[in-house]
Amino acid sequence: MTPTAEVGDRRLQQAATGWTQEAIMSLRFVGSDPESGDGNCPAVWVDLESDSGPEVLVQGWLPDDATLEQCSADTPRPPSEGVVRIPARMVPLLRKACDEAERAGLR
């Protein structure tokens, strides 16, 4: 079972990279797919306090094996990384998260 941390009424899984609860608490929820039905997935966050600088986090649907194989042909994927699929209608949320992370990195 993967450890989790409470953030408001949301539960976020602790990443394989060993995030601490303090790091998880720095996440700012940007939004989720308004057409997902239950509002749980896909979703976007920004971590403005990451040790490596601002980062964008994305939750999405897991791709099928053929898609993973094609992605791996383009660039090897280490065990600590994953591939997710999100709908194009979420581009505005991704832009918002990227803009916020970029602004924070320029400070």
Question: What are the pLDDT digits (tens) for 22-54?
Answer: 555 689 999 999 888 776 689 999 998 888 999
Strands of the 55-59 sheet, one edge to the other: 27-32, 43-47, 55-59
Domain boundaries, the chain: 28-106
pLDDT score recorded for residue 76: 92
The residues, ordered by sequence, that sit 6+ positions from 35 with a Cβ below 8 Å of its Cβ are 87, 89
CA atoms in the 13 A half-sphere facing the CB of 14: 13
Peptide bond preceding 76: is omega within 30 degrees of 0, i.e. cis? no
pLDDT score recorded for residue 25: 64
Higher pLDDT, 34 or 70: 70
pLDDT score recorded for residue 34: 85
